[in-house]
Amino acid sequence: MTRYGSRGRSNNERNSGVRRFSAGRLPVLFTAAVVGYLLFSLSGQFFQLSRMESQVRGMQQQVKTLQAKNQSLQNELKNIKSDAYIEQVARQRLGLVKPGEYPVRSVTKGVQHP
């Protein structure tokens, strides 16, 4: 046997080629692997969170638009239900008159009125 054990390798032979793994590096490698995994996982979560926040902003804008349209439609409905609007439609579209009134129609040459 040589002084390097049963393998008989000299100091130069041991240092050449691939380095041997030391137990002192194990915690560092484990920590690096865990940190890498966490960064990878968190980056996916942040991407998903960003996408969802964008969707929420879009939906909030859509809600505001629909609320404004709803308010406009409610105002229009209120106007349509008013007596003044009903009278206007009855006079213009239906040709109705109040008792004692006489309808006046303009006559234009070549145009026939109903």
Q: Across the 114 residues of the chain, what is the mean pLDDT of every consecutive 10-residue run?
A: 52 56 80 90 90 97 98 96 92 87 77 59
Question: 59 in a domain, yes or no?
Answer: yes
Helices (DSSP H) in the chain: which residue ranges? Answer: 11-15, 26-80, 83-92
Question: 7 in a domain, yes or no?
Answer: no
pLDDT at residue number 85: 93
CB 70 within 8 A of CB 63: no
**CA-CA distances (angstroms) from residue 112 to 2, 4, 45, 81, 95?**
127, 123, 73, 32, 15
Q: What residues make up the domain containing 31?
A: 24-92
Question: 112 in a domain, yes or no?
Answer: no
pLDDT at residue number 108: 77
User: Among candidates 108, 110, 86, 109, which has minimal Cα distance to 98?
Assistant: 86
pLDDT at residue number 61: 98
Number of domains in the chain: 1
Measured between alpha carbons, how far is 2 from 8 in angstroms, rounded to an integer? 5
CB 89 within 8 A of CB 82: no
pLDDT at residue number 91: 86
pLDDT at residue number 51: 95
Question: 9 in a domain, yes or no?
Answer: no
Question: Which amino acid would we find at residue 97?
Answer: V
pLDDT at residue number 14: 53
Measured between alpha carbons, how far is 15 from 38 in angstroms, rounded to an integer? 35
pLDDT at residue number 62: 98
Question: 46 in a domain, yes or no?
Answer: yes
pLDDT at residue number 11: 55
Question: 5 in a domain, yes or no?
Answer: no
